[in-house]
Amino acid sequence: MFGAYRGRVLRIDLSKGKTKAEKVPAEWMLKYLGGRGFGARYYYDEISPIVSPLSSENKLFIMTGPFTGAPVFGPSKSTITTKSPLTNHYFVANASGYFGPNIKFAGYDGLIIEGKAEKPTYISLVEDNLEFRDASQIWGLKTSETQRAIREEIGERRASVACIGPSGEKLAYIACVQADARSYGRGGIGAVMGSKNLKAITILGSSKVEVAKPDELRKLLREEIKALRQTTRDHTRHGTPQYTEVLYELGAYPIENFTRTRVEGGVEGITGQIMREKFLVKDTACYGCPVACGKLCEVREGPWRGLRAELDYEIIWSFGPHCGVYDLNTIIAAVGLSDDFGLDAMSCGYTIGFAMELYERGVINEKDTGGIKLGFGNSDAEIDLLLKIAARQGMGNVYAEGAAKAAESFGRNASYYAMHVKGLEFAAYDPRAFYGMGLAYATSSRGACHNVGGWTIRDELIRPVIDRYAVEGKGRFVKSIQDVRGYIDSIGICTVPRRAMHLTDSPKEDIVNLVTGMDFTGKLLSIGERVYNLERIILNKEGISRRDDTLPTRIMTEPIPDGPAKGHVITPTMMKLMLDEYYTARGWDSNGFVTEETLKRLDIP
């Protein structure tokens, strides 16, 4: 054991019904930290480029970091790495909550799930006792019902349960894994679990995570309490919905499938303030976090009155203005239903808004929609299509595979209206309003992602350190942000409180050294860079190159028509210049392949 590490992972073979504890190579800790880094390293070793995402040969690498479950701020993160059915490539998703910490409390740094069970199964890991249990009676249940049933069956009310809903069972490519109240949301990971006949994994552990130097760590954290409160105050009050009004005012908030950024009446009815005043039930916190940025809200009126869901900035957008909907009652209902059926609320909401534009432009008609008038702003149609996607019924069967694949099936120029990169749908930011976001979408290891790709919002928009419309410098800028996220996702903490611990683009490694007992001084950014390059090597092997690091035609040809960013567009020439600079900064060749020199410099793998 090394500091907060357990030093081992548990390999679980569903086909054979066997398990095996394996040591984590000690050198991996210094090279890859944990979490996302460990997941990428295992994937590199074990997943062939020709493996089909929904075959028994695909695996789920569920990994924690050294900070997961440790006595620091926000120690709740874990990752799942697998091959995505949505993108058909390497994919990593993360979640907060209690599931990751319980893996550590049970005595492991991670779980490796492989093979396929003969019948519906769930895994129960209580302390160090693992059982394969029959899930036939809970197959078909929603996620909330599944979690409740499993806790009752094993007699452990405190157990953490990561499960799929009916959508994962039906192999929807946008199915998520719901871990208690949190989600490993994107990439269709729920379908991978479903393909293995794996309904759920429930974990409960009680072994405390011991750090290398507890007294010194407590002293350091006490000194940073004030900084934590100052840097997270708005998150405690409004969570990430604090950004809705900010992004709208800056002209970077996309409306109705990226066709505009302005709407009569603005977004006043869906801001964080309105959410808190009229819909909030309570603030919620993940394991060990004093910030409590989770916002549990409730539908106050209408047919879904009483339904509850946790809201954040992205999913308010995906089921809200992206679909022309400005009623938080409808948005909360849509999010709650997505969570319960086990759908990624971002991809699901995005895909519904995409379908609405197709309908309005005549690409599809009422014959295609089953009689639903699927125009923007139709709240009832939004819920109707969501339920059809969840059940893979009628037209929902097509949209259950995401916007890109739905567009391919329709033809008729539908692909022009699908805003995605490498199969993953856009997040709630219009990159034409700040070009670094466009480069981040294009070069993210998992597609059009604002997290793995790099959250450029702070440095381009909120507290600008670089001109948002600049082209020069954006390659180096985006690389830096991606490298930071690489080590943050590997260390096992939430990004919200990290600044109070000086885990930034100029990190102070003291806290990492105190937790692990190892010397990471001057190494964190290199680890983030190593993780990102290892992911790129995997993607290169799976066929990804420069031709895939691009943006949808709309983003490169249609200027924003209104608002503060009116007239701005990322032209192909701009994209080429940013990408050239980015590849040079990364040490990749002109086609986006990692060079031998970079492999040697970063000691990969």
Structural domain contains residue 149: yes
CATH code at position 123: 3.60.9.10
Measured distance CA(402)–CA(381) in Å, rounded: 18
Of 369, 402, 424, the last residue of a domain is 424
179 and 235 assigned to the same domain: no
Contact 217, 72 (CB under 8 A): yes
Q: How many domains does the chain have?
A: 3
302 and 443 assigned to the same domain: no
pLDDT in tens, 9-39: 999 999 999 999 999 999 999 999 999 999 9
- Identify the band that residue 128 occupies on the pLDDT scale cut at 50, 70 and 90: confident
265: exposed, middle or buried (C-beta count within 10 Å: 0-12, 13-18, 19+)?
exposed
Residue 522: pLDDT above 60? yes
Structural domain contains residue 179: yes
- Identify the band that residue 524 occupies on the pLDDT scale cut at 50, 70 and 90: very high
Residue 130: phi and psi, rounded to 5, are -105, 135
Residue type, 144: S
Q: Measured in whole angstroms, how far is the alpha carbon of residue 508 from the centre of its chain?
A: 26
Axis crossing angle, helix 379-391 with helix 345-360, rounded to the nearest 10: 120
Structural domain contains residue 211: no
388 and 452 assigned to the same domain: no
What mean pLDDT comes out for the span 209-227? Answer: 96
Structural domain contains residue 448: yes
406 and 463 assigned to the same domain: no
The residues, ordered by sequence, that sit 6+ positions from 346 with a Cβ below 8 Å of its Cβ are 185, 186, 314, 315, 318, 425, 427
227 and 141 assigned to the same domain: no
343 and 439 assigned to the same domain: no
Measured distance CA(198)–CA(345) in Å, rounded: 21
Q: Where are the beta strands (DSSP E) in 519-604?
A: none
- Identify the band that residue 2 occupies on the pLDDT scale cut at 50, 70 and 90: confident
Residue 1: pLDDT above 70? no
Instruction: Dump the DSSP string for 90-151.
Output: EEEEEE-SSHHHHHHHTT-SEEEEES--SS-EEEEEETTEEEEEE-TTTTT--HHHHHHHHH
377 and 444 assigned to the same domain: no
Structural domain contains residue 510: yes
Measured distance CA(89)–CA(109) in Å, rounded: 24
CA distances from residue 165 to 144, 330, 343, 346, 411 in whole angstroms, order as listed: 9, 21, 8, 16, 30
Question: Within the chain, what is the greatest distance between any pair of CA atoms?
Answer: 68
Tokens of 46: 């074990």
69 and 190 assigned to the same domain: yes
Measured distance CA(188)–CA(481) in Å, rounded: 25
Measured distance CA(159)–CA(180) in Å, rounded: 9
243 and 199 assigned to the same domain: no
Residue type, 430: D
pLDDT of residue 425: 98
Structural domain contains residue 583: yes
Of 153, 179, 204, the last residue of a domain is 204
pLDDT of residue 190: 98
Quote the percentage of the chain above a pLDDT of 70.
100
Range of the domain at 358: 217-424
CATH code at position 296: 1.10.569.10
CB atoms within 10 A of CB 521: 12
pTM (2 d.p.): 0.98
pLDDT in tens, 279-337: 999 999 999 999 999 999 999 999 999 999 999 999 999 999 999 999 999 999 999 99
Structural domain contains residue 212: no
340 and 453 assigned to the same domain: no
Residue type, 446: R
- Identify the band that residue 572 occupies on the pLDDT scale cut at 50, 70 and 90: very high
CA distances from residue 541 to 40, 90, 472, 583, 600 in whole angstroms, order as listed: 13, 10, 30, 17, 18
CATH code at position 553: 1.10.599.10
Structural domain contains residue 114: yes
Tokens of 423: 């199969």
Of 204, 232, 263, the last residue of a domain is 204
48 and 189 assigned to the same domain: yes
Distance in angstroms between the alpha carbons of the first and the last residue of the chain: 23
What mean pLDDT comes out for the span 173-197? Answer: 98
158 and 124 assigned to the same domain: yes
What mean pLDDT value characterizes the chain?
Answer: 97
CA distances from residue 579 to 172, 315, 442, 551 in whole angstroms, order as listed: 33, 29, 9, 11
My answer on whether omega of the bond before 605 falls inside 30° of 0, hence cis, is yes
pLDDT in tens, 93-120: 999 999 999 999 999 999 999 999 999 9
